[in-house]
Amino acid sequence: MTNTPLVNDLIRVCGEAGVRHRRADLLVFEADGSADGSPEKVLPLAICLPTSTEQVAGCVKVARKYGVPVIARGAGTGLSGGAVPLAEGIIISLTRMDRILDVNLAERTALVEPGLINLDLSTHIKADRFFFAPDPSSQKASTIGGNIAENAGGPHCLKYGVTTNHILGVEFVLPNGDVVWLDSNQTGYGGLDLTAAIVGSEGMFGIVTRAKVLLTPIPESISVMLAAFASMDDAAQAVTEIIASGTMPSSLEIMDSLSMQAVEAAYHVGYPTEAAAVLLVEVDGHPLEVAEISAEVEALCRRIGVVQYRQSYDPVEQAGLWLGRKMSLAAMGRLAPNYYLQDAVVPRSQLVKTLDEVARLSNESGLLVSNVFHAGDGNLHPLILFDRRETGAVERVLHLNHDLVVACVELGGTLSGEHGIGSEKRDHMDLIYNESDLRAMAGLKRSFDPDDAFNPGKVLPKGMLCGEVKDLHMQRMAQKYGIVAF
């Protein structure tokens, strides 16, 4: 195959081993973890695998020279289509930039490259009794750069916060190829906190090439409790009452019977599959505090009514319980050949109503929905199970997904808790944001990237960057499903 001038210039930056441009290689990068089926997606022109900030900046300058878009990519575990190219351009894959550059235990910080796998950082500093708190379920594979792009959360974000709470500064390649350092942790810092704008920007503003992250001390004591309930409503009510009592566990997770069946068949972790739902509660801190809070949680759960209750201080047993929760997505293949995962958020006080509505919509659609989610902060993850080989199955799934999102918004919720908007929820944005809101977001995008060269077509509804005014979501949904009014 004859190389194009674009490919030749990229090879001059990254070397032969750092550029992929043959079709078989490009196909691997056509999708991310969302298995996004958008008809908009296209094959990239080339994949760059830089090993330094200088190479990233060089690739950006080559893309600028040829007027092609740039899509940054980590491990490809994203679940909103964020790393799926929607226009012919280059993908800059950061997986070879995976070093821990510095650890400063006195300051409780580490300087890392974006391709570092999330869990590898915690493993590296475990002997020093520290860990990196953001822990998405994909932490064995997802990269810190990807976590920054999506502002990833995880089970422990209830107590410790999401990624933005643990990023102190970033080295950043702008769309013109310039490299800047943005640091919100300077003593007496008085400028604009651009680091906060970068976290969660989904690769639309530039590319993070280094990050200064906050390290958290490993707690003295950890207790994990499993409470099994006869109904999902009871499990959701327990979450509401635990938080209302003033107790703050480090995590509160719920799994329904369907998800437990899949997990038990795959991993045999000991979940009570006869129960309608289980609540996983983790409490950490000083041993006396942990014992006191654990007793309060147990009393509350038993008052609501549990069919089984277990508590463990044993790290091995705890790891088993968490294995089932964190690998639940991987186990869904035992229930159906395909799934569609949603990421909406509702107020904790609306959990019972929301789950009742999910069950109603599932029954109406004839599609099974498995629920496994971060109950402590109301971050739902309904998994719509289906077989795309069935005629009309994809359309039914998309219709149900739309109804689930609308239901969550109507109950006071929002579109995403940790997966981002990407292309998957882009056309739902005007359910919660008005025209002025969206124009403000588009203005921030233009201030970093006036040519819309970085990850175009993501987050903002089409037309917002060029000034169009449309009720895009309603128009598209009405056209797609023949809906007259909502």
- Give me 295's structure tokens: 């007793």
Q: Where are the domains of the chain?
A: 5-93, 100-217, 219-335, 426-481
Is the domain defined by 5-93 classed in CATH 3.90.1640.10? no
pLDDT exceeds cutoff 70 at 467: no
Task: Please state, in angstroms and rounded to a whole number, the distance separating the CA atoms of residues 80 and 425.
Answer: 7
Q: H/E element holding 165?
A: none
Average pLDDT over residues 355-382: 95
- Write out pLDDT tens, residues 260-286: 999 999 999 999 999 999 999 999 999
> What is the amino acid identity at position 70?
V
Could you tell me what percent of the chain has a pLDDT over 70? 93
Of the pLDDT bands very low, low, confident and very high (cuts 50, 70, 90), residue 482 is very low
Residue 106, classified by CB atoms within 10 Å of its CB into exposed (0-12), middle (13-18) or buried (19+), is exposed
> What is the amino acid identity at position 346?
V
3 state SS of 463? coil
pLDDT exceeds cutoff 80 at 470: no
Q: What is the pLDDT of residue 464?
A: 79
Choose the CATH number for 100-217 among 3.40.50.150, 3.20.20.140, 3.30.465.10, 2.60.40.2470.
3.30.465.10
- Give me 383's structure tokens: 């998994």
Phi, psi of 46 (to 5 degrees): -165, 155
Name the CATH topology of 219-335. Alpha-Beta Plaits (3.30.70)
Task: Please state, in angstroms and rounded to a whole number, the distance separating the CA atoms of residues 234 and 471.
Answer: 39
Q: What is the pLDDT of residue 480?
A: 47
Cα atoms in the Cβ-side hemisphere of radius 13 Å centred on 419: 28
Pairing of strands 70-73, 90-93: parallel
**109 touches 212 (CB < 8 A):** yes
Q: What is the pLDDT of residue 56?
A: 98
Give the number of residues written for the chain.
486
Distance of CA 432 to CAs 323, 406, 408, 411, Å? 35, 10, 11, 12
- Write out pLDDT tens, residues 380-389: 999 999 999 9
Q: H/E element holding 373?
A: strand 368-374
> What is the amino acid identity at position 271?
Y
Task: Please state, in angstroms and rounded to a whole number, the distance separating the CA atoms of residues 452 and 197.
Answer: 17
Nearest to 203, CA basis, from 134, 281, 148? 148
Mean per-residue pLDDT over the chain, rounded: 92
- Write out pLDDT tens, residues 213-226: 999 999 999 999 99
Task: Please state, in angstroms and rounded to a whole number, the distance separating the CA atoms of residues 113 and 407.
Answer: 39
Task: Please state, in angstroms and rounded to a whole number, the distance separating the CA atoms of residues 12 and 474.
Answer: 47
